[in-house]
Structure 1
Amino acid sequence: MKKILLLIAALFAIFSPSHAQTQSSPTFGAAREFAVLGSGSVTSTGSSVLYGDAGTSPGTVVTVLPLGKVLGDVEAGTAIAAAAKTDVVRVYNELGRFASTSNLTGQTLGEGFNPGAAAVRGTTITRGVYKFDGDARISGRLKFDGQGNPNSLFIIQVNGDLVIDPGSAINIFNASPNNIFFWVTGKVTVGTGGMTGTPSALTGNFIVQNDATLSLNTTLVGRVLSTNGNIFLNNNNISLPEPVTTGGGSDGGGGPGGGTGSPNLRITKAVNGTTFTIGDNVTYTIQVSNSGSGDANNVTVTDQLPAGLELVPPVETDKGTFNATTGIWTIGTLPANQTATLRITAKTTAIGEITNVAVLGNGGGSDEAVICVRPARPNVVGLQEVCVGGTATYTVNNISPGVTRLAILAPETNGITIEAQTLTSFTLRVSATTAPGTYPVTVVAVATGNCLNSQEFPIELVVRAAPIAPAITSPQGALCAGTTYQYSISQPVAGITYTWSVSGPGWDRISAATGTQVQVKAGTGPGRVTVVASNGCGTATTSTPEVIPGIAPATPIILDNSGLCTGLAYAISNPVAGVTYTWTAPAGFTFADNNTTATGTSVNLKASNPNAVGTLTVTATNSTGSACASNAASVEVRAADAGSEIVPPTVFSPNGDGINDTWVIRNLVNYPENDLTIYNRWGNEIFKSKNYKNDWRATGLEEATYFYVLRVRGCDGKDQVFRGPVQVVR
């Protein structure tokens, strides 16, 4: 096939646009004489006229007659129709495999029907493969311009339905209608919207997978062929294009034939892509087909690789042999209705447009494939960061032979300019007014001619300025000696290093020296905190004002005055004038006013239950100047220390196990003036103690019940007597 559409590229407004490469059209084979060919049926309303054959396969319904005329043959479900149908499926599959050169998804072909220059001009398409990812519409005038090349190929690939508005026109200039193909995966409908009731004048071959419907009086120079649908006509005039050819490759007359028939050889050449980078491999597929009725003998093809291509073995062929030195493919005998295929892989070694021609021997015709080989993408190495007002120099390698210069796109509106450049290096300058930030720069290797330049190499240029003096967020309020504080950068900037230091008697940095914040311990004399902001472009320094930390009072000492008569009472043993003492009650306790905090040199606590235990704390704070607090002093608080209820146990077990071995009278320790006497059941005195210490063990006594008499003197000086039994259990 005459393959490859050279893509149109406009890169940075400096590259030359490339022209469309030629590609060859598929051969219609047995279907080339059919104006319409459906899968199920072909039906016509009114008097349609077909200048060609009409047929169906596997269906058998063709109803153009009697009102209409088929000036060719009618093949309804015949073997000829089946052979034609096979070739239609082949053409459909081949068209679907063409690589698109432009994606028109969402666009309308034609400029509609509103009077004006746009509608008159319409839409012009040059040779190439145009793709729609979804439905497509033609509304108005669509022009195919071969630009003087009669072999120009036009393929419209529609992955959906194709709708053509009534009144639309498809015109062709400087090319053949045989090389216009509409490949449609859905259905084709001519007759919705547009200029309702107005005939359309169309050109081209509609190869559709499903149904095709032509509106009233539509004319077509071309074919309507369906692989799996029906065709509906309505007073249409359809004529085959003239002259009838089978594609861009030449139809050969064939070589000397065998048997009673005559051979008919045809050569086509295809390539596996449109654009390659130097060093890539490209694969060519050459096919020779014999559509005649007789064998072709002594068939040869010459395919000598041109400069810029280097053969990559092995060569694949299903018939004959290929001589890599001479480039001659010797097929030998090619029977009727058979095809020979050769695949050649070559490495691209030069840039530019390369045309590779395959020539069928004995004057049997030729076909060519044109590719675009673009330069390798350059590799750029250099600084990623630069200071405002500075320069950055880059080294460039991987430059392909034939590259004439580097195209460098830098954001000049931001003050970044190209100061110098060669094929192997360039220098960028950043102005003094360029704002810090990240700027994209792209580098492309430029080649002469109408092919493509290299792919772009992207650079992210980071522009930095020297730091400005940072602002420090300092602790609020007065500072106290020995206390740790945090200082931080108010608005840190990425890419800047912040280094901290402290000065002054007793001042100390207790965290890392670098970072956006620092932990500092205040000293006893005047001091300050300093930070230096730095990057590759300079430094800036900021210091806090000098401060004199306050001195905290001495840690207080707590006196525990708790007792039966005083309650849970605590006081400062060394109170200092001008100092405030703040107390905090533990859980389970409150102060006399039911609060959990209190101030003063002494406090009294109340317990929520008689067994409560906790830790009472107090701190000393200066009342004037800096409110610096001392370290906290603490004392253990036990509700039992001020308990007043005397509770003698009725049983205890002095068995030496360390549990309940003595007779302990609860709260008796709070009554130091007491007398205790123990009697046995006969009234004999067996134990007597003055100021009992909860230490009776019933030593030498047997398990039994004994009787006690306890006298205690209260805070009011009055005695209170308690009597009762106590059981000794070993």
Structure 2
Amino acid sequence: MGNCRSDSSLARYVSVNATTLSLPQQTELTNRCPFQTADLTRSIDSQIIGNSITSYLFKKEAFLSSDDVQSPGAALAGVYYVFGRTADGCYTEPMAVTVRIDACQNSISPCMSNPATVVARIDSMNWSKGVVYVRGKLGGSAERASWQSSGGGLFTDTGLQTRYLLSEIDRQRGTVAFTLTVADPDGTGPCVGATDQLTAVRAESSRLLTEAGKQITDKLTSGAVVAVDESGEGVFIPEGFSPNGDGIHDRFVIQRVPPDVVIRLEVYNRWGHRVYMNNAYENDWDGTTNQVSTGTGQSLPDGTYYYQVRLSDGREFARFLTLAR
């Protein structure tokens, strides 16, 4: 403030010297009969480990963010990349290692020396919104896996990381079991697949709460969802409709929504594909799709669909509906 000034500071110079770390290694590997895989760790110069390089990574491509090699000790034919890591966190340039697999008499199948493994886990779950997020990890000779549930809900993706939409059975039970299965890698051969199971359980304290109220079943509406807020006013969402042109329940009509509240509606089929979306829904859905991927304007087949309703006042509801003409 005022006319006060500080003394000038002394200049400080910082220099950074670029260094390139290399990782001496064997760049070509072959299997050792009778095994039909190669050990990538044999490519590393053991005199380097524990000296300037303290650890190493095996990658499928020549950059650090690429996928790890699942089983470096049992690699199939191909090109892999090795990174060394120093104690201060620096990485070497990637070094390519080519694996060649030679034929052997009385060979041992790769899936015998490197059995398939799988691990399943739950990332998160929200019973009030009807969603459980699950994730899987493969190891050994496992290449693909498939999810199954005990309650007949929908998986929105076929990959290892997916979202599961709870079914009515899941909600009633308050629990759902998941199974992640890796198929037998060699069919009728000596190898076997792998499975892992886990169970998601709704906490006893959970009462199907939404962010701004609670969900109950209205006995007078055959299972329709009535969302009751603190004021006692409810939003009525039917359990289904019949768009057959007879003038009765031809539209999916959400009732008891305040006039200043905007409705966002999304509907998914049993395979997790979105078939309808409207960010300002006005109770005019007639059972046709408005999504290009499912044929805009086409009538949807009868069946069970999963919907998500989001209101602009913060309330959200997610359940199943029945479309029956």
Interval containing the TM-score (normalised by the shorter chain): under 0.3
- The structure with the greater share of residues assigned to strand is 1
Higher relative contact order (CA 8 A, sep 6+): 2
TM-score scaled by length of structure 1 = 0.13
User: Could you tell me the TM-score, scaled by structure 2's length?
Assistant: 0.26
**Structure exhibiting the larger radius of gyration computed from Cα positions:** 1
